[in-house]
């Protein structure tokens, strides 16, 4: 099966289009789930890119290439892997908070409130001046101009946005800024000697990854690197808001430790970890970690040869570069929810989210691909590297793939079969109990992806690296 989306990713690594032939892609094409957006094509493309990057590292180690295979239906299911979690026989509630959602505002416009995290929920309720009650929120939003509410919530350090059409986003200053950016950048930011890959029997054996990301996209990157043998140490802090359950989805293969970067001693501990790391992955708004001494340039001086993977919501350029955002926010402001609602009305009228977290997981897969490409470049030619991407850039790429013709969107199944989900799942023994979850999607003939460690609660380990190998 030819995948045109993969053709747009290959140039990021400097690879010819002929490399597409190394991947066997089987299964159906869009639409597999009820959305006009080409989530199957893009999921398969990003995972194929990960497979090609892992195979490249393996060939550097052994001189041997691998066979790579992807099932498109399984790849699509991976875009909502959080929905298929079962802990000790009970489904894990991965749903959205009741206050979170799209509400009608003045003049026929709509406003989205992102309220899953308590701090963002508190910000929205404070702006609206109402208690935590859906009816009270709906009545309050109806009194607001959607654009003014968007700005007020952002000023209050909340998250959300005004629903826009695609045409409106194309004319918005931030939409224009994002349109001027590539899907992702892999750029050298410093000089360093070439470093051969550590000894090991997997593509990323011995590679050390610091994961300072949260929610879904960034953690998916580090989870994917762990699938191929990397030692991943997730760093967060006890005071940061967390839903906890997201680790059941994105925590596979990782160690996890707490560090409070407000404390000087913990800053020094993180610097020590950086000096022993190969990849530093962060998902904070531009400049946030730089103010604490962990900008890409500072990291490259601290640890020559580091690969910095930097994720943000809206890109590093434009008036919204420092604005917080999530997959659902990007969908809202860029026209995706508007279009989805036109074709697939929900239980309530108005804009709708697509049935997966496509932007989140696609971004995570692309981040992992970029990190592996940069590690290969470091092994061949040296240097410190920056992999830079945003949710908005990935959202634009997804939309740029075009839409499934409306005539093909009739009677699309909303769920996979029980037999499929059973075949794609595995069980892990975790500190919290026995967890059933989706297994890795990629098939590699010599180094099948797997997680060497089960997911653990945040802060479960000490902030130290395990011995290499």
Provide the 8-state DSSP code for 312.
E
**pLDDT classification of 98: cutoffs 50, 70, 90:** confident
Share of the chain above pLDDT 70, in %: 99
- pTM across the whole model: 0.97
**pLDDT classification of 170: cutoffs 50, 70, 90:** very high
Residue pair 431/457 in contact (Cβ under 8 Å)? The answer is: yes
For residues 383 and 233, what is the distance between their CA atoms, to the nearest angstrom? 23
CA-to-CA separations, 353 to 240, 300, 359, 361, in angstroms, rounded: 27, 39, 11, 15
Work out whether the CA dihedral 176, 178, 183, 187 comes out positive or negative.
positive
CA 443 distance to own-chain centroid: 21
Give residue 1's pLDDT: 64
| Average model confidence (pLDDT) across the chain | 95
**Domains of the chain, CATH where assigned:** 4-93+183-307+358-388+401-444 (3.40.50.10540), 101-178+317-343 (3.30.1540)
Q: Which string of b and e fits 254-270 if b means at least 16 CB within 10 Å?
A: bbbbbbebeeeebbebb
**pLDDT of 469 higher than 70:** no
What is the helix (H) or strand (E) element at residue 447, kind and residue range? none
What's the mean pLDDT in 40-69? Answer: 97
What's the mean pLDDT in 375-386? Answer: 98
**pLDDT classification of 320: cutoffs 50, 70, 90:** very high
* 254-298 residue pLDDT tens: 999 999 999 999 999 999 999 999 999 998 877 777 778 899 999
For residues 72 and 219, what is the distance between their CA atoms, to the nearest angstrom? 22
What's the mean pLDDT in 117-144? Answer: 94
Least confident range from 29-43, 239-253, 314-328: namely 239-253
* 58-69 residue pLDDT tens: 999 999 999 999
């Amino acid at each position: 099966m030819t995948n045109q989306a993969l053709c747009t990713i290959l140039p990021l690594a400097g690879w010819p289009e002929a490399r597409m032939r190394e991947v066997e892609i089987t299964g159906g094409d869009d639409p597999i789930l009820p959305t006009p957006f080409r989530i199957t094509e893009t999921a398969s493309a990003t995972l194929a890119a990960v497979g090609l990057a892992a195979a490249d590292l393996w060939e550097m180690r052994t001189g041997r290439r691998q066979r790579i295979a992807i099932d498109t239906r399984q790849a699509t299911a991976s875009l909502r892997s959080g929905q298929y979690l079962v802990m000790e026989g009970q489904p894990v509630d991965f749903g959205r908070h009741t206050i979170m959602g799209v509400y009608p505002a003045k003049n026929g416009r709509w406003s989205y409130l992102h309220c899953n995290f308590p701090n963002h929920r508190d910000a929205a309720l404070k702006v609206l001046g109402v208690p935590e009650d859906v009816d009270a929120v709906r009545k309050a939003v109806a009194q607001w101009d959607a654009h003014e509410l968007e700005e007020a919530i952002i000023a209050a350090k909340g998250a959300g946005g005004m629903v826009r059409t695609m045409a409106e986003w194309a004319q918005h200053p931030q939409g224009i800024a994002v349109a001027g950016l590539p899907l992702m950048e892999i750029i050298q930011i410093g000089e360093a000697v070439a470093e051969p890959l550590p000894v090991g029997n997997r593509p990323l054996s011995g590679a050390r990854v610091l994961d300072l990301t949260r929610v879904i996209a960034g953690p998916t990157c580090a989870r994917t690197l762990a699938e191929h043998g990397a030692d991943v140490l997730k760093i967060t802090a006890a005071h940061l808001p967390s839903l906890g359950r997201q680790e059941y989805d994105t925590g596979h293969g990782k160690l996890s430790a707490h560090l409070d970067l407000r404390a000087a001693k913990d800053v020094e501990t993180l610097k020590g970890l950086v000096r022993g790391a190969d990849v530093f992955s962060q998902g904070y708004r531009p400049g946030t970690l730089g103010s604490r001494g962990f900008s890409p340039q500072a990291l490259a001086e601290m640890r020559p040869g580091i690969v910095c993977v930097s994720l943000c919501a809206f890109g590093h350029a434009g008036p919204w570069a420092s604005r917080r955002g999530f997959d659902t926010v990007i969908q809202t402001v860029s026209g995706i929810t508007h279009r989805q609602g036109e074709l697939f009305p929900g239980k309530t009228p108005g804009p709708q989210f697509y049935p997966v977290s496509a932007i989140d997981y696609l971004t995570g897969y692309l981040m992992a691909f970029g990190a592996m490409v940069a590690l290969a470049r470091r092994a061949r030619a040296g240097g410190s590297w920056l992999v830079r991407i945003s949710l908005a850039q990935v959202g634009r790429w997804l939309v740029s793939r075009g839409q499934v013709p409306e005539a093909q969107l009739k009677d699309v199944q909303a769920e996979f079969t029980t037999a499929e989900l059973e075949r794609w799942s595995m069980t892990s023994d975790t500190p919290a109990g026995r967890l059933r979850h989706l297994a890795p999607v990629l098939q590699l003939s010599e180094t099948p992806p797997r997680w060497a460690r089960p997911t653990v609660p945040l802060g479960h380990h000490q902030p130290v690296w395990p011995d290499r190998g």
